[in-house]
Chain A
Amino acid sequence: MVVKTSQLSKIYHLDGVEVRALVEVNMEIKEGEFIAIMGPSGSGKSTLLNLLGCLDTASIGEYWLDGVKVDKTINLANIRNQKIGFVFQSFNLLSRCDALHNVELPMMYAGVTSKNRQRKATELLEQVGIGNRLHHLPNQLSGGEKQRVAIARALANDPPLILADEPTGNLDSISGQNIMEILQNLNNQGRTIAMVTHDPNLGERADRIIKLMDGRIVS
């Protein structure tokens, strides 16, 4: 089991008003699964993603990621570095760094030596089909290429879970198709992927859909 949550809840207090963004979510993601998280805006998708991605901790409930209990007492930065690979809607590459350096970044924070980083990053970029673009800056790349770099970066430390947040949201349909194919290929190779989307066509390509509504899982 890569992900297991029990009674996971997130409550915000805005000007003294209690906002329950996520209510008693129980879910599991098995190793090698490709799940889609869907729901209208305000349904708690982002909150769930932030919790799963260890960018935030739950108010109530428990979250186990790859055998580690995630709460305030552990170093979230290290967990993110080792166990999560993020793919964002808006790519979020560092504009000053070339493709290679962007992919190296998570490995740098993991303390991998420069030589090993470069070798691994080159391999990963070749694997996502842009081995010929190693030294291009993000603004010299097309949207689809940027997202490929981002996927390569997400794979850098071989994390047990890849979190993709609307990975095709900023792409034209052809590039979007290509990115989906890459993700499905990765899944076929055994990677565990959780993807947030509001596109039903994309959701159908996942093994399973988790639907959220008003902070609760509805199906």
Chain B
Amino acid sequence: MFKEIIVSALSALKANKIRSLLTTLGIIIGVFAVISLVSLVSGLKKDIKDQILGLGGDVLTISPGNIEEGGFGGGGGMGAMMKSFGMEDVRAIKEAKIPEVKEVNYQYETYARIEYGEKSYNTFTLGCEPALFKIFDNKILIGRLFDSKEDQSGGRVTVLGKGMAAKIFGSADRALDKEIKVEGKSFKIIGILDETDMNFGPVDVNDVVYIPAESAKKYLELSRISEIHLKLISDQDILTAKRKVEKVLKESRGMNDFTVLTPDSMTSLIDDIMGMLTTALAGISAISLLVGGIGIMNIMLVSVTERTKEIGIRKALGATDANILTQFLAEAVVLCILGGFLGLGLSALLSFILNQFTEVPSHIEPATILLAIAFSASVGLIFGTAPALKAAKKDPIEALRYE
């Protein structure tokens, strides 16, 4: 019986091909929107997570501001200045001699003016200790990294990301031993870093200019540390280390105005943000499914009236109210599911095009497909019920008389 119901529904829909297609257009667009948006967000999430996990599982990052109190990133302005770190914080952590911590590292960040001849760039500049390269696993391509002697003495040497070197000099190998000006002070290029996929949020790591931390303090007049990185002995100790560092910093600063981020907490933060985004987008797209559902109901009501005679004939031949109800409900559901699959096909196509020809990642998850089909089937059920009930309730005598 089930097969017959589906076959009969399909043949009824086939009898009015154009109308069926137009009717289900709302569902097609709705499912297309839901799947495409959700896939885009999920692709983005995967991308960002991959980058964070690229940092390695044994690095703790201490940022100013307390995430739980809504102050992540310092919030900018005076608040940010007050909350950022100083050398005293680095010293406090170092002197606490936490056994799980292998290295303590800090960095100054600024956007500095880089000049070479006529060329001038405003670029993200990091003042750091040589150990930072180890923490982030940066590989040298040409030349060498600066050493701790150059760091402690505030040497005027610099290491460039490959992308930045290529921008200034055309190609990375021409940059070595040249002098560039950072905020008007000359620095000698001693090394070029190999390309990496890692990102600091919006900053492309390949475009970063690195100078020794002391030099940043001395020549760029940076006094506040923007981030402290701790390299641990093993990634097993992450939570113990996190607790201990929090205790030390809280005591030395007198308040809890910082956040120790583990790779896990960073990914869960991303999950939270992306989850909210997904819900919001899916909600908006669901409205188009709703509109599609109303379209289905409208056309099904017209169809029931048009086919009054057919309903009368079927009832005379022995169709029960339930038979008629099932028949029209099946048509609505089949129509919606077909629309769902068409929408799915469209978004698969879009996803393919995005992944093939652009940098925008898109990732359709099996759960999304199931959700979309289940959703369009329920739209059919919900909006098909009223027309199907109307059909089932028709009086056979009057229906037979209908012309």
Contact = CB atoms under 8 A, between A and B. Distances in A.
Interface residues of B, number: 21
B15 interface: yes
28 contacts: A50-B397, A55-B315, A55-B316, A55-B400, A56-B397, A77-B315, A77-B320, A77-B321, A78-B318, A78-B320, A80-B316, A80-B317, A81-B319, A88-B400, A92-B312, A92-B400, A94-B310, A94-B314, A96-B11, A96-B12, A105-B317, A106-B317, A108-B4, A109-B318, A109-B319, A109-B320, A110-B318, A111-B1
Interface residues of A, number: 26
A53 B396 CA distance: 11
A75 interface: yes
A86 interface: yes
Interface of B: 1, 4, 11-12, 15, 309-310, 312-321, 323, 396-397, 400
B400 A77 contact: no
Contact of B323 (A56, A96, A109, A114): A109
Contact of A96 (B15, B317, B321, B396): B15
A175 interface: no
Q: Which of B309, B317, B321, B396 has the most C-beta atoms of chain A within 10 angstroms of its own C-beta?
A: B317
A55 B397 contact: yes
A146 interface: no
Interface in A55-112: 55-56, 75, 77-78, 80-82, 86, 88, 92-94, 96-97, 105-106, 108-111
A148 interface: no
Given A55-B396, A55-B397, A82-B318, 20 more contacts: A56-B397, A75-B320, A77-B319, A77-B320, A80-B317, A81-B317, A81-B318, A86-B316, A88-B400, A92-B309, A94-B310, A94-B313, A94-B314, A96-B12, A108-B4, A109-B314, A109-B319, A109-B323, A114-B4, A157-B318
Nearest to B396: A55
B318 A80 contact: yes
Given A92-B400, A94-B310, A108-B4, A153 B320 contact: no
Nearest to B319: A109
B307 to A, nearest CB: 10
A108 B15 CA distance: 21
A77 B394 CA distance: 13
A217 to B, nearest CB: 22
A42 B15 CA distance: 38
B316 to A, nearest CB: 5
Contacts of B314: 94, 105, 109
